[in-house]
Amino acid sequence: MQFMEIREISELLESKEVSPVELASLMLERITSLDPGLHSYAYIMAETAMSEARAAEAEILRGRRRGPLHGVPLAVKDQCWTAGVPTAAGTTVLRDNVPTRDATVVRRLREAGATILGKLSMAEAAFGDHHPSLPAAVNPWDAKTWVGSSSSGAGAAIAAGLCYGAVGTDTGGSIRFPSAANGLTGFKPTWGRVSAFGIEGSAQGTMDHVGPIARSAYDCATMLKVIAGDDADDPTTLIAEVPDYPSLLETDIRGLRIGMDPQFNADCDHVTLNVLSSASKVFQNLGARVVEVSIPDVSEIVGDWKAACAIDLALAHERTFPSHRSEYSREIAAMLDFGRSKSATDLRRILQKQQKFQGRLERLFNNVDVLLVPITGIASPTVAQMAEIGYGRKWQTQVMHSTCPFNISGSPALVLPGGFTERGTPIGTQLVGAHLSEHVLLGAAHKFQQVTDYHRRYPSL
């Protein structure tokens, strides 16, 4: 039961074959048993989770079912405010930060009747590695394999059957990396589609996206319908109407134009290229048309991404840095110094390049509906490989190359499982679309998952 999709669990709850209390108890027991070795949770909210589960059970028994998330145990990245519970954003400097309000996404999940199990561990300040004094999340498929960053706990928890779905954030790949690394489906919606209110210490000013991670595209569609939409607390949210995403998943994708750029994938290893090729064949068998395209050059904007992120990060942490420098890791302190050192001219130059890239990419979507691209150039990298790569040129070309450009453009991007390495670890593939084409990406991914079983394989725990 712990590895079921949200849709399957929701059906069991609706038919009363299982109760919200039973589900919450199962998840909390598994967390107690397994998470000491996985470190996927930063805070376990057992008391409030059981209270929410009992309330959901009482409502469902009275025939007052709120919707498909009612009674479903979920979790949120420890970047999302939770009233009365610490939100540390992977840092130690914010360990005593206890919000008095929920983030909008948390509030909306609770209003939908979901049971919030806890706060998921993450990389420090949502960038790079975990804080050296905090335990790092472990990939449940293989402890030596990279778990993904920065929504690492979300990837590990769902893959291990410690929650059914989660909310993550993504400034350069932080929903997509852990989804790919853990055999999950993760969705970074159009920038502004989901409110960033109550997302602690983020780069929400320009590049941060909030979105769901779950087992399937159907589950992501179900969660996105709940958390998306205009929010008065976040004036950057889009006012556009939120579609009923689950109801649109069965749309025929015959004739869908999927663009692939061989040059864009030039630095990928052969395993990654094989997964992309296999995925393209599946889509063609479903009636989609794969066409060769030329994605606008990303080298300059990928090179600028770190500086742009550092500037936003410095702004987000101006209350605690540099006054509490000693509580930050050397890596994040250096990142904050880097951001603070940039001038207004530097920022304007970066923004101009980004705006030009955004325009070129939007023009590309006049000719195709979806782009099929990799996640990383290295298929399921190990922890050792990532340490060797570091944060230099190789990091730009083999890690950030295929993800951060679509944060800069604000484009929706979806990751879905597409294969496995010889050592049995998952490999993901990525679909990218034009602004507000969430339904197109979700529909294509859903069709893919109806004829493949990559998303239905689980780690042995």
Instruction: Please report, for the domain that includes residue 53, its CATH number.
Output: 3.90.1300.10
**pLDDT at residue 204 above 90?**
no
DSSP characters for 169-225?
Answer: EESSSTTHHHHHHTT-EEEE-STTSB--TTBTT--TTTT-EEEEEESSHHHHHHHHH
Task: For helices 20-38 and 6-14, give the axis angle rounded to 10 degrees.
Answer: 150
**pLDDT at residue 22 above 70?**
yes
CA separation for the pair 402, 242 (Å, rounded) = 27
**How does strand 413-420 pair with strand 426-433?**
antiparallel
> What separation in angstroms does the CA of 315 have from each of 89, 290, 418?
15, 42, 38
Q: Tell me, what's the pLDDT at 391?
A: 83
Task: Determine the structural domain holding residue 121 and report its residue range.
Answer: 6-295+372-456
Residue 365 inside a domain? The answer is: no
Q: Tell me, what's the pLDDT at 202?
A: 61
**pLDDT at residue 438 above 80?**
yes
**pLDDT at residue 329 above 90?**
yes
CA separation for the pair 72, 87 (Å, rounded) = 22
| Contact (CB, 8 A) for 75 and 119 | yes
Task: Tell me which residues are annotated as active site.
Answer: 77, 150, 174
How many domains are contained in the chain? 1
Assign 390 a pLDDT band (cuts: 50, 70, 90).
Answer: confident
**pLDDT at residue 298 above 60?**
yes
Residue 271 inside a domain? The answer is: yes
Assign 7 a pLDDT band (cuts: 50, 70, 90).
Answer: very high
Counting runs of H as helices and runs of E as strands, what totals does the chain give? 15, 11
CA separation for the pair 183, 179 (Å, rounded) = 6
CA separation for the pair 189, 327 (Å, rounded) = 33
CA separation for the pair 214, 74 (Å, rounded) = 10
**pLDDT at residue 205 above 70?**
no
Task: Kindly report the backbone phi and psi dihedral angles of residue 350, in degrees, each rounded to the nearest multiple of 5, phi listed first.
Answer: -60, -45
CA separation for the pair 309, 433 (Å, rounded) = 23
Which residue type does 320 have?
Answer: T
**pLDDT at residue 177 above 60?**
yes
Q: Tell me, what's the pLDDT at 392?
A: 84
- Mean pLDDT over each residue of the chain, to the nearest integer: 96
**pLDDT at residue 227 above 80?**
yes
Residue ranges in 252-367 assigned as alpha helix (H): 270-285, 299-316, 330-341, 344-364
**pLDDT at residue 265 above 80?**
yes
Residue 73 inside a domain? The answer is: yes
Burial class (CB in 10 A: 0-12, 13-18, 19+), 379: buried
Closest CA to 116 of 158, 74, 168: 74
Residue 97 inside a domain? The answer is: yes
Residue 306 inside a domain? The answer is: no
Q: Is the pTM higher than 0.95?
A: yes
Residue 22 inside a domain? The answer is: yes
| Contact (CB, 8 A) for 41 and 120 | yes
Average pLDDT over residues 229-238: 95
Query: What pLDDT, in 10s, does the model give residues 99-141?
Result: 999 999 999 999 999 999 999 999 999 988 999 999 999 999 9
Closest CA to 250 of 442, 433, 429, 438: 442
Give the sheet arrangement for strand 185-188, strand by strand: 41-44, 115-120, 73-77, 166-170, 209-214, 185-188, 413-420, 426-433, 370-373, 257-260, 289-292
Average pLDDT over residues 29-45: 98
> What separation in angstroms does the CA of 460 have from each of 5, 141, 142, 162, 400?
17, 7, 9, 14, 30
Average pLDDT over residues 41-59: 98
Residue 317 inside a domain? The answer is: no
Instruction: Identify whether 322 is preceded by a cis peptide bond (ω within 30 of 0).
Output: yes
Q: Tell me, what's the pLDDT at 414?
A: 98
Show the tokens assigned to 284. Answer: 């063609």
Q: 178-187, 242-251, 385-394, 446-455: which has the minimum mean pLDDT?
A: 385-394
Residue 426 inside a domain? The answer is: yes
Average pLDDT over residues 309-331: 94
